[in-house]
């Protein structure tokens, strides 16, 4: 994956570009039940939308890891403009690189549109790192789009190949992972399912964000042209939306597990 579309989103400063957008983030934040003493990690902070939302509301420090330098630059720019740089630590990592934290460092971890794009090996790695980093009785919440059960492998392969060509990333997991498979992988890595919410079906109450929800104005005509081209490509992929469902999934780490 060259992640060219994500790099474009970073350049225009887009936030909450994940299933159900800010509505899902609002639900995720409510389920985190954030307390002043929490140590929180975000996996894949993007341009910092959720990170800033949490910092603004609860006044705590949040740590994040991110693989794209373009996203880190955009997030840090927003943090600086809001005078919140002292409340966030964003660390650059490479795909598959062990996260630079000690075991049992966080009691809450969340990720939006990260796990759903992974192949089986990538998903196993992230769940393994989450289990290592979570304190006993810790919480993981993910917000992701997953293939519906029963989508044929050849259909997934065709769609993923086209998505790589058009966007530089998969439409959903290249390994054809649905909800049941994701839960089994998480459990095999030492996490326990606590709750699952089907965002595609369930109604979510909308609230107003306390930070920048929309993309910043296009800086030049070239960026605008690129955005238009992506919109055209999205229309081509619109027919595949019925093959995926979006979920908010909560996992815990038992106090009985090391």
What is the pLDDT, as a whole number, of residue 176?
A: 98
Digit-coded pLDDT (tens) for 153-168: 999 999 999 999 999 9
Domains and CATH numbers, the chain: 4-252 (3.40.50.150)
Interval 108-124: pLDDT, tens: 999 999 999 999 999 99
| CB-CB neighbours of 101 under 10 Å | 16
Q: Quote the pTM value.
A: 0.89
Residues in the chain predicted with pLDDT less than 50, given as ranges, are: 207-216
């Amino acid at each position: 994956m060259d992640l060219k579309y994500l790099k474009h989103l970073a350049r225009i400063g887009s936030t909450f570009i994940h299933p159900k957008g800010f509505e899902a983030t609002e639900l995720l934040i409510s389920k985190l039940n954030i307390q002043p003493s929490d140590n929180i990690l975000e996996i894949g902070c993007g341009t910092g939308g959720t990170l800033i939302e949490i910092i603004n509301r609860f006044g705590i420090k949040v740590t994040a890891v991110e693989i794209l330098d373009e996203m880190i630059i955009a997030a840090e720019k927003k943090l600086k403009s809001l005078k919140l740089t002292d409340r966030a630590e964003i660390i650059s990592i490479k795909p598959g690189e062990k996260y630079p934290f000690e075991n049992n460092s966080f009691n809450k971890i969340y990720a939006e549109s990260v796990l759903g794009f992974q192949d089986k090996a990538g998903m196993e790695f992230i769940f393994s790192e989450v289990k290592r980093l979570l304190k006993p009785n810790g919480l993981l919440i993910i917000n992701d789009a997953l293939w519906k059960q029963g989508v044929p492998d050849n259909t997934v392969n065709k769609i993923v190949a086209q998505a790589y060509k058009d966007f530089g990333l998969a439409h959903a997991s290249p390994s054809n992972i649905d909800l049941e498979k994701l839960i089994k992988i998480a459990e095999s890595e030492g996490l326990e399912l606590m709750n699952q919410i089907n965002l595609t079906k369930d109604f979510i109450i909308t609230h107003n964000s306390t930070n920048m929800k929309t993309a910043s104005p296009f800086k030049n005509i070239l960026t605008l042209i690129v955005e238009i081209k992506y919109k055209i490509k999205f229309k081509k992929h619109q027919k595949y939306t019925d093959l995926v469902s979006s979920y908010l999934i909560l996992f815990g780490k038992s106090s009985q597990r090391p």
